[in-house]
Amino acid sequence: MVLNYIVFIIFSTSLVLTNGNIGKCDLAIAPSTWLTTNATGILEYSTAGHPTNGNNYCIRQTETTNFLHELQVAYHIDLGNETYSKTLMKSVVRSISLDSQNGCVNNDTKVVYCFPLCLNVTLQNQVIESALKSNQPAFVAQDIQKTTKLNWAITVMQVDYNDPNTHINASVFLNPSAWCSVYVGIRPKLGFDYLYEIQLGKILD
C-alpha cells in the first residue's frame, strides 16, 4: 500500500513571537504561556471541552481570496508553577509515494501516517482511537472528551492533504501535563483517507 500524501515536519526552537489577538485572546496577557496554531488548508474543524468565546481559548477562521481556509487557534496554557520552553512545529503536505509512517503508539494498520507531540502515551492512544472511529471532526472532538474526561480545550482539524498550500505552524509545550497533539492520517476500510491535526491543551480558567 502506498500513501498519496506525506507530512513534513520541521522543528525550530527559535523564539516564537506571540503578539496581537486571535479572537478575544490577547496574546500579550501574562503569563506568557500562549500556544498558537496558524494553519491553511483546513477543511473543517470542531472543538470540545471548553467554549471558544472566552479569553483563554480562541479560534479565528478567515476565508481568503484563493479559497484557502486559514485557521488560527490560541490556547492560554496552564503550566502551574512549571516553566517550559516552546517548540515550534511547521508542517506541509506533499504528494509522494511512501510506505506507511506511523510514529505513534497505536499500531492499527488503518493508521497510515502518525506524528505525535504528546508525551503521555495513554492519552496519545486514546486520541488515536477516537480518530479511528470517524471522519467527522465533531464526532471525534466529542469522543475525545468523553473517553479522556479531561477538562482541557480540544481542537480537531481536518486537513486537506490534496492541497500543496496546506501548512500548519504550531507552537507546543512538550509537557505531558498540559499539552498533547497528534497529526494522524487514516485509511478506513471503506471511503476516503482523512488526515487530522488534533490538539489538546490544559488552559487557564
Residues that bind ligand NAG (CB under 6 A): 16-20, 27, 36, 38-40, 72, 80-81, 90, 107, 120, 122-123, 126, 148, 150, 167, 169-171, 176-177
- Least spacing, CB of residue 102 vs ligand NAG, in Å: 10
- Least spacing, CB of residue 41 vs ligand NAG, in Å: 8
Nearer to ligand NAG, 99 or 192 (CB): 99
In the chain the first and final C-alpha atoms are separated, in Å, by 46
Please report where in the chains the cell 470517524 appears, as a residue.
134
CB 163 within 8 A of CB 46: no
Nearer to ligand NAG, 83 or 95 (CB): 83
Nearer to ligand NAG, 6 or 42 (CB): 42
Nearer to ligand NAG, 192 or 205 (CB): 205
Closest CA to 184 of 139, 126, 138, 143: 126
- Least spacing, CB of residue 132 vs ligand NAG, in Å: 14
**Residue 14 CA from chain centroid, whole number:** 20
Q: How far apart are CA 170 and CA 72, in angstroms?
A: 10
Neighbours of 12 (CB within 10 A): 13
- Least spacing, CB of residue 125 vs ligand NAG, in Å: 9
Amino acid at 163: D
